[in-house]
Chain A
Amino acid sequence: MYPEEFQYTKDHEWLRVDEGIGTLGITEHAQKELGDVVYVELPKVGDPVTASETLGTVESVKAVSEVYSPVTGEVLAVNDKLQNHPELLNSDPHGSAWLVQIRLSDPKEIEKLMSAEEYEAYVREDKAH
């Protein structure tokens, strides 16, 4: 269910890193917990982002979830499609509903992230609680 080529955070986000550029999204588990996504707030291209700090929010009808950046760097691209089609986050969270692309300033930061296998175990444990 969770792509092997992604890395995952405890806040239920995924990151795919390609030549120093990370693409960030929320996981299938996150979208399920949120329910129907109605609004997405994202940074602007060129904005600096810092690891563990808020980068945007994802809203459903009855919940708001902050998106934390897993890495430090600069925003290279923002998925504008989500402005008018937030429902993509429910239908395709691991694909077309990516949030932002970030140029990483410290590639070492991703070492702390989870693999797909680790994340699946984490979700299982989370559910048990």
Chain B
Amino acid sequence: MKDHIRHARPHISRDEDLIFERSAPGKCGVDPLPLEVPSVSASELLGKEFHRAEIHGFPEVSELEVIRHFTRLSTWNYGVDTGLYPLGSCTMKYNPRINEVVARLEGLATDHPYTPPELAQGCLRILDETARCLAEITGMDAVSLQPAAGAQGELSGILMIRAFLAERGNPRRYILIPDSAHGTNPASVATSGYEVRPLKSGARGTIDLAEVDRAMTEEVAGLMLTNPNTLGIFEVQIREICNLVHQKGGLVYMDGANMNALLGIARPADFGADVMHLNLHKTFTTPHGGGGPGSGPVAVKKFLEPYLPSPTVERAADGTYRLNYNRPKSIGRVRAFYGNFGMAVRALAYIAANGGEGLLQTTQDAVLNANYVMRRLQDVYDLPYNGPCLHECVLSDHRQAARGVRTGDIAKRLIDYGFHPYTTSFPLIVQGALMIEPTESASMDELDEFIEAMRAIAEEIEEDPEFVLKAPHTTRVSRLDEATAARKPILRWKK
């Protein structure tokens, strides 16, 4: 027997082929549904011009092979279910299982978007109730769930600002965006036909009031800001900033990506924002799914309500729900149908599970966790902006860079310790940023382990930087050649 295992190799589960490479003619993962109507000849019905005989290269595999294939692939991933996922600005918190169950209930998962409203009251009620909850949390007056993701929420919001100002005679030309902002902000502004005017952050990493005063002219339509900002710091002068913008006839857009820091603590409408979006996949636990689907509801003050995307869900006096398409001032549609309904179901389940008190406790825990990490790492990693943070903290690799090790390398080494990396190189205003957002889903024990790992890496960098530069050492694949991937892109399998 010994002879036979002499040539043992790692099990195939560590090296699963592409599904196309498992394919063989005649295999199929489903059996055909019997046809109870007369069969037709596709080639005759469609004719030579239209009929397709075969999809070349398409896979042919059994059900079991599909299950094994995707199960194996899944084990090469790291999810929130696996462990701490401290990606700053992404809010990788626990995705409750009940959300998944209710989103798949027959009726909610199976109602067609063109079901007559009187037969889809349950779905419309969920949309309306979710919108009401989000309005309550933000202090805003009206919410549309149509935007498919945060970036579309941004676009919708900026288009509403444009529509509002245009109706008053001049849509204006510029939108002010702090240099600490997420990249989608300027990209969305460009799509809406405005030009970006960057605002330089002040010494504390926050917006400088004098800078706003200088930049805010009659040509500026508004300010787009994130609060707390991408450093996890609250804009202390937020009211003054909003007042300045309003005095010059501009509006304030708030990127609600960091709302996890404010639940039950402060409401954007109360501190001066006119319009904002929320990321249901961040604050409200709809799963990130490996990069989507997201959902980016947009919330507005009363005066902007007429401009919300069309249609809106409305509740009549008799308690029934309907879709209102008669909205002459609306910016129009930003996507087909009514938005990512399945995400609204999950978000509402999460809000209801918590109630107001639960959400407040959530925010408190998230903020405590971030401060705990920051304080226990600031003696080994530089802290460019000191002071209590909110939901996330930003350190820098300044000291480690002197040994030739950058934030991206430290992140890769963290993988060997069993953690998902933090966010690297963002925000851009901090050179070599380590952006850490533990969220409320991290326990103290897990944070202690994370902190120990980070401190151990700092020591390794002093002793053997080369070893860190080659990390990760324990994953299925080592560092991947991104340069070759981009120089000669291979974007599909070919025989």
Direct contact of A and B (CB under 8 A): yes
Distance in angstroms from B424 CB to nearest chain A CB is 10
Say if the beta carbon of A36 comes within 8 Å of chain B.
yes
Task: Please measure, in the bound complex, the distance between the C-alpha atom of A59 and the C-alpha atom of B483, giving whole angstroms.
Answer: 10
Residue interface mask A61-80, B partner, CB < 8 A = 1: 11000000000000000000
Looking at chain A's contact residues, the main secondary structure is loop
- B64 contacts the other chain (Cβ, under 8 Å)? no
Interface size on A, residues (CB 8 A): 9
Interface size on B, residues (CB 8 A): 5
Residue A86 at the chain B interface, CB threshold 8 Å: yes
Q: How would you classify the secondary structure of chain B's contact residues: helix, strand, loop or mixed?
A: helix
Q: For the complex, give the distance between the alpha carbons of A36 and B481 in Å.
A: 10
User: Does A87 reach chain B (CB closer than 8 Å)?
Assistant: yes
Which residues, 38 to 54 on A, are CB-close (under 8 Å) to B?
Answer: 38-39
B31 at the interface (CB under 8 A from A): no
Whether a CB of chain A sits under 8 angstroms from the CB of B112 is no
Question: In chain B, residues 436-491, which have Cβ atoms closer than 8 Å to a Cβ of chain A?
Answer: 482-483, 486-487
Which of the residues B425, B482, B486 comes within 8 Å of A39, measured between beta carbons?
A: B486
Tell me, in angstroms, the Cα distance from A62 to B483 when the chains sit together: 10
B486 cross-chain contacts in A, Cβ below 8 A: 38-39, 59, 61
Candidates A59, A61, A86; contact of B482 at CB < 8 Å = A61
Bound: A59/B486 CA distance, A: 10
Interface string of B409-428 (1 = CB under 8 A from A): 00000000000000001000
* Distance of A53 Cα from B495 Cα, bound (Å): 45
A38 contacts across to B, CB distance below 8 A: 483, 486-487
Select from chain A the residue with minimum beta-carbon distance to B424.
A62
- A38 CA to B483 CA, complexed, in Å: 6
Residues of B with C-beta under 8 A to A62:
425
Residues of A within 8 A of B482 (CB): 36, 61
Q: How far is the CB of A64 from chain B (nearest CB, A)?
A: 12
Q: Which residues of chain A in 69-103 are interfacial with respect to chain B, using CB atoms and an 8 Å cutoff?
A: 86-87
User: Which residues on the A side are within 8 Å of B487 (C-beta)?
Assistant: 38-39, 86-87
Q: How far is the CA of A6 from the CA of B200 in the complex (A)?
A: 34
CB distance from A55 to the nearest CB of B (A): 21
Interface string of B193-232 (1 = CB under 8 A from A): 0000000000000000000000000000000000000000
- B residues at A contact (CB < 8 Å): 425, 482-483, 486-487
Q: Lowest 10 A-B CB distances belong to which pairs?
A: A36-B483, A38-B486, A61-B482, A38-B487, A61-B486, A38-B483, A61-B483, A86-B487, A39-B486, A87-B487
Told that A36-B483, A62-B425 touch, could you supply 6 new A-B pairs with CB distance under 8 A?
A: A36-B482, A38-B483, A38-B486, A38-B487, A61-B486, A86-B487
Q: List 10 A-B contacts (CB under 8 A).
A: A36-B482, A36-B483, A38-B487, A39-B486, A39-B487, A61-B482, A61-B483, A61-B486, A86-B487, A87-B483
